[in-house]
Amino acid sequence: MKLSSEECQQNALTPEHLALALRSLHESGYVILEGVLPQAWVEEMRVAFDTELKRVTAGKEGEVEKSKGHYGTSAPLRLPFLDPLAIENPFALQIMESAMGTDIFSYLPYGCNTAWPGSGVQHIHRDTGHLFVGTSYVLPVAMVVVNIPLVDFTVENGCTEVWPGSHLIADPDPAAALDPYHVCTEERAAQIPSARVTMPAGSVVVRDMRAWHRGMPNHTQTIRTMLALVYFRQFYNICHLKYGNPIPRSTWEQLSERAQRLYRYTPVAEG
């Protein structure tokens, strides 16, 4: 979806575009807002993450190879990584709050999905299953990932492959809830048309995390980076969040009131 210059300047979708975005999220399982973020901001974030990725992977070439070249990192809890356009993106929040209510939440640190040069093909998978296993119907979206590519996503550098509508597949087999690869088989996926998510840097993707997808090979010599922030409906199980990295009190107090509400379950370190 391409937004108008006025929408990009105001950081808000028109009612018509919001309705289209919600329809795409419901029917396809994802929506792409193409190139809506300032290129200067995207470049600053790309350089910052490239530097951080090289730092955390130094001497860990074996780990990168073990992951077939799909090896990312968590965002440090400081600027520019905590910039509002990343952690409280206005376009994504407008869509998510319309789809899941205004009391959604997330956690810090968020991730940076990366395909390194020479990366392979991931297994087809989904990031989460349905809330109620063994039923023949599908409930509304409850868990969403927001992706922001920091480089142009092309077939050459491994843009993600997604199966539109796969989030609506009900899985009556309880084993599907325990193994994300159990139901997302190559044989089954071959019966459903897939799409490659090509898009310019600075786009914003809102995806239902039940949608089938996989990382693809990066045939270029440049790492392919993409921010990944996960958001939940308020009722979602939050037990695992208590193990999140604590954010310093001084950093926490610099966040906006809205960001503090979104990341309310993130532990805050005193001192």
What is the tens place of the pLDDT at every residue in 60-79? 888 888 888 999 999 999 99
Average pLDDT of the chain to the nearest whole number: 91
Q: Provide the CB-side half-sphere exposure for 194 (13 A, CA).
A: 21
Nearest to 35 by CA among 227, 202, 198, 207: 202
- pLDDT at residue 31 greater than cutoff 70: yes
Least confident span in 101-110, 146-155, 176-185, 194-203:
176-185
Residue 204 has what pLDDT? 98
Half-sphere exposure of 200 (CA within 13 A, CB side): 12
Mean pLDDT of 100-114: 94
Q: What is the pLDDT confidence band of residue 181, given thresholds at 50, 70 and 90? A: low
The pLDDT score that the predictor gives to residue 4 is 97
Report pLDDT for 35: 97
Q: Which residue range forms the structural domain that includes residue 213?
A: 5-269
The pLDDT of residue 170: 82
CATH number for position 126: 2.60.120.620
Residue bearing the bigger pLDDT, 117 or 59: 117
pLDDT of residue 130: 84
Q: What is the pLDDT of residues 131-177, one digit of tens each?
A: 877 777 889 999 999 999 999 999 999 999 999 999 998 876 666 55
Could you give the residue ranges of the DSSP H alpha helices within the chain?
Answer: 5-10, 15-27, 39-57, 61-66, 84-87, 90-100, 175-178, 186-189, 249-252, 257-262
pLDDT in tens, 235-263: 776 655 655 678 999 999 999 999 999 99
Instruction: Give the span between the Cα atoms of 17 and 244, in whole angstroms.
Output: 35
How many domains is the chain partitioned into structurally? Answer: 1
> Could you tell me if 206 and 26 are in contact, meaning their C-beta atoms sit under 8 angstroms apart?
no
